[in-house]
Structure 1
Amino acid sequence: MPQNVPSFSSMLEAAEHSAVHLEMRDTYGVSGEADDFTTWQRTGQRDTDRHSAHWAPWVDLVSRAVSRGVIVQRARIVSEPVSDYIRFEYAGTTVNLSAGEQVRWLSRRRASDIALPGNDFWLFDGRLIRWNHFAGNGSSGGPEIADDPATAKLCSEAFEAVWARAVPHEQYEIR
């Protein structure tokens, strides 16, 4: 059933306390990153200029949220050795950090006993979920919104369990 989903920007702008993101895929095929990923694969160079056309809107959005006191955290569960796409993400994470995000990494082997939702998500203020659905090839399958308290609790507990075990970006070594 199609759903009218607010933009991610409006959801982050409405957040009052927290916005946490759990990523669990080893590869994504998001169209907005395709050219950058191809360039990185060819050259090993990643756009890490927080003022670039690619990054500036994200940096501005997150920086504004953080300046309002919103805690923005991102945890990534990854298979090791990591995929090329995860290496690409890792190379760009310095920009996320410069915007005020906190980022941690967890080896999938260390997540085996954590009850995890079936999809990546953003959880805003511990109550509003924005599911990120993906096709098998990693392309976006579109977002979905949920506010069921039991599901929000599952997401919150899953994120907190991952966060507690995960390694801060500055200490994580790509394998």
Structure 2
Amino acid sequence: MTAPNRAGRPRASSRETLAEAACELFFERGYDATSIADITQRAGVSRSSFFNYFASKSDVLWSGLDARITEGTDALAALGKDGDAEAVRAILRGIVHDFAPDPLALALRNRSAMGLDEELVRDTGVRQVRLASAISDAAKAAGMGAIHADIVGAAHAAALFSSLRAWAEQGAGSGALESTLDGALRGIDELGWK
């Protein structure tokens, strides 16, 4: 005998169900006032199910972009001495390619309403430094001096994160993030890749 279907949220412990529950609660209560227990209760899953998908409450917002950044930093490290501006920019475009509206885009657009202002500044900074360092390392491996490589790395990483924020604030579904990134990259062309 099968159990009857119950009305309400399905019991599936999918990443999307947890992210949806978290975003609802961030809107209702604010980020700081929402616990992991609140999220799992709203999603109808166990605490251990949450940790199958996310390491922390913050990861609910960042996990999609984090996976892309990891792929990007791996690709940057593989460039070696053949790295150049176009190869780096192609990797950055790959990070944002087909980036769809997700919990991070929702959080960036609604950061004050969700109580995320401080959290997003801190978490963006960590990821921006990680990406800048990987770009700088790729530039140094290609023969660029350390100071110039650090500046180029920081500028390119800032272009990506600034583009992501601007795209989300405009309404993430209104255009391609790649176009916004391309505009930001044109703004740093004077730095050169020498």
Bigger strand fraction: 1
Structure of higher CA gyration radius: 2
Do these two structures clear the TM 0.5 threshold for a shared fold by scoring above it? no
